[in-house]
Amino acid sequence: MAPSAIESPVVNITEAPPQPKWFVPELLPESVKERMEKAGIDMTEYPTPPVVPFYYQEAVTLKGDPWEYNDVAARADKTKSSLLSAATKVTNLTAHIGTEIEGLQLKDLTDQQRDELALLIAERSVVFFRDQDLSPQKQEELGKYWGRIEYHPHVPHVPGVPGASVVWDGLKPGVPRKSTYRNPGGTNRWHSDTSHEPQTPSYTHLHLDALPSTGGDTVWASGYAAYDKLSPAFREFIDGKMAVFSSTHTYIDRNDPYAGPKFIQNIHPVVRVHPVTGWKSLWVNRGYTRRIVGLEPGESDAILNYLYNVYESNLDIQVRFKWTPRSSALWDNRITTHNAMWDYEGKEPRHGTRVMTLGERPYFDKDAPSRRQALGLDGPE
């Protein structure tokens, strides 16, 4: 049986600015309408606008008290035979990151296969499925099976399916996107989803049901492999270091509203350990990491920019996925950073739904091995 899901607390958000109607159903691509109508979604309310927290005190209470997270991958059969034997084809897309599975429908997976899929994601960082007949409800169900899901307060969601966030460039009709060709912005920036939270996402599942005719790919980079790129001396230096992770959204302090904008911030390790594989992973990203604790600003900036560059410039630790309609990407936020290409410049629709499962509070263990050490891949320096 699936573990019981812990629901996020209901917060009474008061005195916030009026919430907008984000867009009208007539603007949606036909493939999206077909998927939603097949799932019984009320399209007159699509999507349900977010209720954005206005005050800092309300924003920090949305996740509630700390909870114990038990990763289902820990109980999976390490051979993953139930999952892999049922597939018609399994392809490792690169040596270090990315696997594509054919011949399986995510909505039909057994509990054992769901456990094994989580383990495969933990080991390979991101796993892809194409030609999925997947409703938002089934997508949310899989996320809940893996644990407590994220109810994202800043993005709209599918009506009646609050865990399925809507990802679409067509939001806010009539409001020009700030991104430009020279400065794409948005998710065209390396990041790990909501890594400012106290208990950060473990598994993320993005399903795209409408795509531009060309472009719109997503690139992931492996934190395991990025850590292994560092020299032993540099690894020793950053092991145990902590960094400040900050929200991209700002809030007002209810008790001091004239003090200026506030951010939600948490301190997490620069190198974290995956609770199931036990491997060390580099875990900083341009989107949310602000500074390394204990270092001067110049020192912190220099080191962080170097670490970002390790992720971003080493093509051999990246995988680039060319989406096709009805594809799903499932990745482990604890060991990856990713970047969504805006090369189509918003000229054609790119639409999908995302479900995130929240995991443990990031931690570091000095005795944990790197991936290459654990797999016996390290040779002479």
Task: Considering the candidates 148, 205, 274, 338, report the single residue annotated as catalytic.
Answer: 338
CA 218 to chain centroid, in Å, comes to 12
| Number of neighbours of residue 356 by Cβ within 10 angstroms | 24
Name residues whose C-beta falls within 8 Å of residue 323's C-beta, 6 or more positions apart in sequence.
208, 211, 216, 217, 218
Which amino acid would we find at residue 55? Y
Is 338 in the active site? yes
Catalytic member of 96, 350, 354, 371: 354
Rounded-to-integer distance, Cα 301 and Cα 314, Å: 20
**Element spanning 91, H or E:** strand 89-92
- Pair 336, 220: CB distance under 8 Å: yes
Note if 354 is an active site residue.
yes
Closest CA to 193 of 238, 126, 93, 106: 126
Sheet order of strands, 336-340 included: 318-321, 218-222, 336-340
Indicate which residue of 114, 191, 196, 205 is catalytic: 191
Catalytic residue among 193, 209, 228, 332: 193
Beta bridge partners of 269: 242
Say whether 152 is catalytic: no
3-class SS string, 104-148: CCHHHCCHHHHHHHHHHHHHHCEEEECCCCCCHHHHHHHHHHHCC
Is 193 a residue of the active site?
Answer: yes
Please list the residues that pair with 356 across neighbouring strands: 204
Tell me which H or E stretch contains 45: none
122: left (phi over 0), alpha (psi -120 to 50) or beta: alpha
- Kindly compute the dihedral angle of the four CA atoms of residues 140, 163, 224, 232, in this order, to the nearest 10 degrees: -150
Would you name the residues annotated as active-site residues?
A: 191, 193, 338, 354
